[in-house]
Amino acid sequence: MIKFILTSVASLIANEDSDMLIQDAFSNMIDECSTIKLDGNFCQVLSGISEAYNNVESKQSRCEILSIVAPKISLKMLQLFIPGLTNFRYYKARFHATKYCAGARVDEKERIVQRFSESQVADFVEFIISPHVCIDLPFGEKTLKLSSGMELYVPNTIRNMGPTRIIEQYLLYCKEMCINFEPRARSSLFKMLEVCKASTRKSLQGIDYFAAEGSEAFEGIKQMIQSNSLPSCENNRLIENLKRARLYLKSDYKVHVSRSSGVADHCCVYALSDPEKKDFSHDCDHEHTESCNRKSCGCQFIK
């Protein structure tokens, strides 16, 4: 582009002698550049920089050495003393001098790759194979091939929830039940789930008849709400609460339930006791005076 502009200007000034005009105009500059003589002390300094640059192996150390002279000397001049110097290294050294200071020493941060600890892996695997997450199917099997070449045949399993929901519940479980235990990061947990393959539940028929009948009951309640002539806002509120209650019973409720709990909705002994038949009841050794105040709890939606 610059050459085209200069040629056009020279053609306007000297139509027939434009080439001669350009040659005469730039001949003096070429002669001046070719007659530049380097000072002896200057050559010794750059030779020392070049020797120090070539003697170190670390890229960071080379960048620090080069940052001493890079802001003051052109790339072509440095390439005379440091053959093979690239544009990237030259401008990286200039950036280093601007950001830190010329020749400043910057400590390299060592990156430590932390492997999975056996306790963390075992705890997560134990959680995902628990009845809360997985159900063993009465038919079918999968083949697991170990690194040694051995093949293991295991029964086919199906998961009640998707990967994201499983990890959220596991992290919540660790936070509430294992205070001093630090689980793996979410990305690592996703990788473990990908390795431990299992089917995701889509239909409950033939797998869990109690859950299937419960799902049908929720559908019946939903149809009953829709059949009544309720205001639109009230109808939407009831259906939304019904969805939350259904999701709560499918997932979080299993984690909240225990044999001894101050929350009546979470105490399985209290819930399974028959108030009329003593043979099918058991007295709790605690009072049910507490209420569930967890944000993820859906007890308030069920009532």
Q: CB–CB of 28/22 below 8 Å?
A: no
Task: Report the C-alpha dihedral over residues 238, 244, 245, 249, rounded to 10 degrees.
Answer: 160
In a domain, 123, yes or no: yes
> Which are the contacts of 121, defined by CB distance < 8 A and separation ≥ 6?
184, 192
Q: Are residues 49 and 124 in the same domain?
A: no
Which residues sit opposite 199 in a β-bridge?
158
Is pLDDT above 60 for 290?
Answer: yes
In a domain, 112, yes or no: no
Q: Are residues 146 and 166 in the same domain?
A: yes
Q: Are residues 189 and 218 in the same domain?
A: no
For 144, phi then psi, to 5°, come to -105, 125
Q: Are residues 162 and 226 in the same domain?
A: no
Domain limits for position 235? 209-302
Domain count, the chain: 3
Q: Are residues 123 and 81 in the same domain?
A: no
**What pTM, to 2 d.p., does this model score?**
0.39
In a domain, 170, yes or no: yes
DSSP state of 217: H
- Rounded (10°) angle between helices 59-66 and 87-99: 70
In a domain, 9, yes or no: yes
Q: Give the pLDDT confidence of 184-240 residue by residue, as tens digits.
A: 888 888 888 887 776 655 555 444 555 667 777 778 888 888 888 778 888 888 888
Q: CB–CB of 252/173 below 8 Å?
A: no
Q: Are residues 130 and 193 in the same domain?
A: yes
| Mean pLDDT, residues 31-55 | 71
In a domain, 169, yes or no: yes
Is pLDDT above 50 for 34?
Answer: no
For residue 252, what pLDDT is reported?
67
For residue 123, what pLDDT is reported?
86
Torsion-angle region of residue 160: left (phi > 0), alpha (psi -120 to 50) or beta? alpha
